[in-house]
């Protein structure tokens, strides 16, 4: 005889709170084991769906009339009902009852009592007594009762370990899970005839289908549903009391058993003391509204619970949970950040579409709550694995240093920024997130560079400089904004003798292939300080001119050029926007600190930011005159010899004097300008001097030359009275 398969929505089962997620697993498990082995379940529009030979009414009848509770016991816990001071009402009632559906429960309770008598225990075991009892239970329980034990604890060489899902072996503080489980069973059904109490049918409909019901028990569901723990504004009055639907509690613990097979295969000790449990990682205090670093020390763990949108049998789900395979670069994900990376890099398979992230955090005194921390979609973030993997070692060392007891507060903030940016990039994968991560890495590097405590560490365990980043970062982060192009141009500044831009921001030994830290106190190139962008760029310009003059003593003065070459170029329109203060200086500086970490020797044409061909605006006459006198290469067949006096005048705020000298230098170099001098305020002179640091293309330089010679300069902020022409 064939049975028609039906599909329907279990409206009472949602991904959050955790109790409702586990309830969905419990329903699927019980239906598959006790009614329809081919039953399937899946998640759709934030509710759980069931495909089975049972219809909605049949499902209600199955739980009301046929469901046999799984014998959940914890004889190793105080409050479990097995010891004189415990509340033993439920255990006694089940033992003395005769209902068929409690038959297995009675056998297990009897076995536990005999084991306690063998060990002559009059109270819960302490010290070595508890591991001994746990081992005996594991040896003597029948096979069909071992799933609960596997879900509650695992015996290892270092002693028993407890998965965070069930607290510390089936209890959380004073809340003993199994005793409460039995008490709720008593409110649902009779231990004698086995019939369901009439009022519990309404609470069953509420639990399965979210039907309205007034039947709730006083009590608590513990960490699994923080929203129903009572308190202010948790009820119709000013303050609500803790209530629970007895069916919710029962089905929730039945669902927790779904993680049992995984425990025996995958549970082990991690270096941080957090168990390597299926889809369970070390907590990361980032990525949610109430995130704080204190969460990491106080939390037990994080669990990322899978959501799937294809009908799947319980054995298949059990296999998925038993494997718990979330890997990145051939190792298990260890933290919430690792988990996000594994999702983004397709380290998770088996048809999972999303993960609901839960953290077991202290949120009410010493009580732990399963706090929903957000939903993460399984998606591929292009380039994430390739670009992040080379940073793993450095990130591990930085995390250890930044979370140390004596670490500066700035290091902790930088770590959170890096990990938060990784989480966002892996979840969304857009250019803004790549930029955010680059900025965070630049800030982290800067934090280490200025702290001898972080650089040196103890016993040589300090944090080294970041390894050079792949040029692919440049392409992935390019959002085609002036700020990004200007920052990339600055970061790419390089000269064979003077060195790259990076040496002005941090004490790094560039001669070493391993990029070791140098002595900051004895490095005169370190001129970048706490001032604004213009102040720092002018300081770098002055330093580079000094260095190139010192290095070029043996060269012919006619061959001396400005050390301002770069692998990326700024457009004249971008430079004009900088001089006019139409760009975000802080963002340029933040991007610079991240982009300077790239391996610029490997940057090619395919990596460079896209340059606009717009001629909407070009820099004014003063910039054109000064820039042509600070070129890193000859202009056509003419070499414009570097004259340091020009920059010195500009850096002193004397724009008229600087442009006058520049016009003379161009004339003697064979480029007679149409402009003799430009007047301007000190602040404008400084911004123009700072703008000289941006490398420009040969085409842009040629355009400046044409404009200077053809008298077609756009004056920008200048007016006619500011410019002295050759005919004046």
Task: For residue 208, give the 3-state DSSP assignment.
Answer: helix
Q: Which residue, chain included where needed, has tokens 């960490």?
A: 223
pLDDT at 558: 47
Q: Is 311 helix (H, G, I), strand (E, B) or coil?
A: coil
State the DSSP H helix or E strand holding residue 591, giving kind and residue range, or none if neither. helix 585-595
What's the burial of 94, exposed, middle or buried (CB within 10 Å: 0-12/13-18/19+)?
A: buried
Count of C-beta atoms within a 10 Å radius of residue 388: 21
Three-state DSSP state, 131: helix
What does the radius of gyration of the chain's CA atoms come to, in whole angstroms?
A: 35
Cis peptide before 17 (omega within 30 of 0): yes
First CA to last CA distance, the chain = 108
Find, among 375, 351, 357, the residue nearest to 427 by Cα.
375
450 vs 166, 445, 518, 705, CA distance in Å?
A: 45, 9, 11, 42
DSSP SS3 for 635? strand
What pLDDT is attached to residue 713?
46
**Angle at 374 (CA atoms; ends 368, 376), nearest 5 degrees:** 130
289 contact partners, CB below 8 Å, separation of at least 6: none
How far apart CA 518 and CA 522 sit, in angstroms, is 9
3-class secondary structure, 360: strand
* Residues composing the chain: 728
Is 572 in contact with 619 (CB distance < 8 Å)? yes
The pair of three-digit structure tokens given for residue 153, joined into one six-digit string? 């604890």
Helices (H) and strands (E) in the chain, counts: 28, 24
DSSP 3-state assignment of 253? Answer: helix
**Cβ distance 438 to 594 under 8 Å?**
yes
Those residues with Cβ within 8 angstroms of residue 135's Cβ, 6 or more apart along the chain or in another chain: 155
Cα–Cα nearest to 502, from 493, 513, 511: 493
The three-point CA angle 604-442-435 to 5° equals 65
Task: Count Cα neighbours of 591 within 13 Å in the Cβ-side half-sphere.
Answer: 27
> How many C-beta atoms lie closer than 10 Å to residue 62's C-beta?
18
- The token duo for 583 is 């760009």
Three-class DSSP category at 704: helix
Residue 601 near residue 672, CB atoms below 8 Å: no
Name the residue with tokens 């630049």. Answer: 442
Mean pLDDT, the chain cut into blocks of 10 residues (728 residues total): 82 95 97 96 96 96 95 95 94 95 96 95 91 94 91 86 88 88 94 88 92 68 73 52 85 92 49 58 76 69 90 91 66 78 65 88 72 85 80 91 88 92 86 94 93 74 88 92 96 91 87 71 84 95 92 60 92 94 96 95 86 67 94 87 93 95 93 89 95 93 84 46 57
Dihedral angle, C-alpha 250, 255, 260, 262, nearest 10 °: -160
Provide the pLDDT for residue 403: 86
Report how far apart, in Å, the C-alpha atoms of 62 and of each of 54, 65, 67, 68, 500 are: 9, 5, 6, 10, 74
pLDDT at 156: 81
Whole-angstrom distance, CA of residue 275 vs CA of residue 235:
37
Nearest-angstrom CA–CA distance, 401 and 13: 43
SS3 state of residue 658: helix
pTM for this predicted structure: 0.81
Question: What is the spatial distance between Cα 24 and Cα 14, in angstroms, rounded to a whole number?
Answer: 8
Nearest to 54 by CA among 69, 73, 41: 41
250, 30 Cβ separation under 8 angstroms: no
CB 640 within 8 A of CB 629: yes
Write out the two tokens for 689: 């001097």
Position 298 scores a pLDDT of: 72
Predicted pLDDT at 331: 65
Angle subtended at Cα 12 by Cα 8 and Cα 14, rounded to the nearest 5 degrees: 95
Q: Which pLDDT score, from 0 to 100, does residue 175 have?
A: 84
> In this structure, are residues 223 and 167 in contact, taking their beta carbons and an 8 Å threshold?
yes
Neighbouring-strand partners of residue 172: 175
Burial of 529-566, coded b for 16+ CB within 10 Å and e otherwise, reads: eeeebbebbbbbbbbbbebbeeebeeeeeeebbbbbbb
- Which residues make Cβ contacts (< 8 Å) with residue 553, sequence separation at least 6? none
């Amino acid at each position: 005889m064939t049975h028609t398969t039906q599909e329907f929505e279990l409206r009472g089962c949602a991904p959050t709170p955790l109790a409702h997620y586990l309830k969905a697993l419990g329903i699927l498990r019980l239906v598959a084991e006790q009614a329809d082995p081919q039953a399937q379940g899946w998640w759709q529009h934030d509710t759980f769906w069931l495909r089975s030979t049972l219809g909605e009414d049949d499902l209600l009848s199955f739980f009301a009339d046929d469901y046999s509770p799984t014998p959940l016991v914890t004889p190793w816990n105080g409050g479990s009902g097995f010891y004189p001071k415990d509340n033993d009402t439920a255990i006694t009632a089940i033992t003395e009852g005769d209902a068929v559906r409690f038959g297995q429960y009675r056998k297990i309770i009897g076995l536990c009592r005999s084991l306690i008598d063998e060990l002559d225990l009059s109270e819960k075991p302490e010290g070595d007594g508890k591991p001994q009892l746990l081992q005996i239970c594991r040896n003597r329980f029948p096979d069909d009762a071992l799933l609960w034990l596997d879900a509650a604890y695992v015996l290892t060489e270092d002693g028993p370990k407890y998965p965070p899902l069930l607290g510390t072996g089936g209890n959380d503080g004073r809340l003993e899970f199994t005793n409460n489980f039995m008490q709720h069973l008593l409110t649902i059904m009779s231990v004698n005839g086995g019939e369901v109490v009439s009022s519990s049918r309404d609470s069953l409909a509420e639990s399965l289908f979210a039907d309205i019901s007034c039947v709730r028990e006083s009590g608590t569901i513990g960490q699994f549903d923080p929203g129903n723990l009572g308190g202010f504004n948790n009820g119709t009055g000013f303050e609500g009391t803790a209530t629970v639907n007895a069916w919710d509690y029962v089905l929730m613990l039945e669902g927790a058993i779904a993680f049992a097979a995984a425990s025996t295969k995958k549970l082990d000790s991690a270096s941080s003391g957090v168990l390597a449990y299926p889809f369970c990682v070390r907590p990361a205090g980032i990525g949610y509204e109430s995130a704080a670093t204190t969460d990491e020390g106080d939390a037990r763990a994080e669990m990322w619970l899978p959501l799937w949108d294809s009908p799947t049998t319980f054995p298949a789900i059990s296999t998925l949970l038993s494997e718990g395979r979330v890997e990145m670069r051939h190792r298990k994900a260890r933290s919430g950040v690792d988990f996000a990376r594994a999702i983004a890099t397709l380290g998770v398979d088996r048809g999972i579409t999303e993960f609901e992230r839960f953290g077991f955090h202290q949120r009410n005194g010493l009580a732990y709550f399963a706090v929903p921390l957000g939903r993460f979609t399984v998606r591929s973030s292009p380039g994430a694995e390739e670009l992040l993997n080379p940073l793993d070692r450095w990130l591990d060392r930085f995390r250890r240093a930044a979370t140390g007891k004596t670490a500066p507060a700035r290091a902790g903030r930088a770590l959170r920024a890096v990990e938060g940016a990784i989480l966002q990039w892996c979840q969304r994968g857009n250019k803004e997130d790549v930029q955010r991560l680059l900025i965070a890495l630049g800030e982290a590097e800067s934090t280490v560079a200025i702290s001898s405590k972080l650089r040196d560490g103890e016993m040589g365990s300090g944090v080294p400089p970041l390894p050079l980043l792949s040029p692919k970062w440049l392409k992935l982060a390019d959002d085609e904004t002036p700020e990004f192009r200007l920052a990339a141009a600055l970061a790419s500044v390089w000269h064979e003798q003077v060195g790259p831009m990076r040496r002005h921001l941090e004490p790094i030994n560039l001669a070493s292939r391993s990029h070791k830290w140098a002595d900051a106190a004895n490095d005169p190139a370190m001129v970048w300080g706490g001032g604004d962008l213009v102040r720092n760029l002018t300081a770098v310009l002055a330093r580079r001119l000094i260095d190139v003059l010192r290095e070029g003593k043996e060269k012919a003065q006619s061959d001396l050029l400005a050390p301002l070459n770069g692998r990326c170029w700024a457009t004249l329109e971008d430079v004009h926007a900088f001089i006019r203060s139409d760009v975000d200086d802080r963002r340029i500086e933040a991007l610079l600190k991240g982009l300077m970490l790239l391996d610029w020797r490997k940057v090619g044409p395919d990596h460079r930011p896209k340059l606009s061909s717009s001629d909407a605006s070009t820099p004014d006459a003063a910039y054109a005159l000064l820039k042509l006198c600070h070129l890193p290469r000859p202009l056509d067949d003419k070499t414009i010899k570097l004259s340091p006096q020009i920059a010195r005048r500009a850096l002193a705020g004397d724009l008229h004097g600087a442009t006058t000298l520049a016009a003379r230098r161009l004339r003697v170099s064979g480029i007679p300008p149409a402009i003799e001098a430009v007047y301007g305020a000190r602040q404008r002179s400084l911004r123009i001097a700072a703008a000289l640091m941006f490398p420009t293309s040969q085409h842009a330089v040629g355009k400046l030359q044409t404009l200077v010679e053809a008298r077609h300069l756009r004056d920008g902020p200048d007016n006619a009275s500011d410019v002295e022409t050759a005919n004046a």
